[in-house]
Amino acid sequence: MNYVIRSIRADEWPATKELRLAALQDPVAHLAFLETYEDALAQPDSFWMGRAAGACEGADEAQQIIAEAPDGRWVGTLTVLIEEPGTTDWAGYAVERMQGHVVGVFVRPEERGGGLTEVLFDAGLEWAWARGAERIRLIVHEENGRAQRFYRRVGFVPSGLVVPLSAKPEEKELEFVLERP
């Protein structure tokens, strides 16, 4: 595998935007992401600049990690958010302990199946553990079987927490967790 796995830099917001828009066009994007392609496309450049600056190399609260192909193309990504005890998460649930929250997992279809997602996860988990996370969690749609199989394969297990989607209350998302080794 000749990919460079690294955190993004703040000035790389155009590439961050391009990869996110590609992710939102994936056939399972409606199950994997809480935003739509149309909503993301409508965001001004300032939004993308802020998003990159908040999750770039050296940021403490989030880190976006990418896989860069030998030709310089970004072919995969994930972001880890740090959630502090005493705060509430995006769904309104109390955060009881220091944890990482994996979001925005995407590998371009032509790059899937070669272990790249595992390498991205290793880098993201390493970053969160180094920040003092006691566990790592992620939320996955109940119908996203492919993602659930992958998360189980890399050690995540369902916690039992079920999160209803506010925009579609009939649909549910499941929390998967990995305790600190």
131 in Cβ contact with 140 (< 8 Å): no
pLDDT at residue 21, rounded to an integer: 97
Question: Starting from the edge strand earliest in sequence, which strands make up the sheet with 4-7, in order?
Answer: 4-7, 62-68, 74-83, 99-107, 135-141, 172-179, 157-164
pLDDT at residue 134, rounded to an integer: 97
pLDDT at residue 126, rounded to an integer: 97
Mean pLDDT by 10 residues, the chain (181 residues): 93 98 94 93 97 96 97 97 94 92 96 94 97 96 94 96 82 93 83
pLDDT at residue 165, rounded to an integer: 75
pLDDT at residue 1, rounded to an integer: 64
Adjacent-strand bridge partners of 4: 68
Cα–Cα dist 40/36, whole Å: 6
pLDDT at residue 116, rounded to an integer: 96
- CA-nearest of 50, 59, 48 to 14 is 48
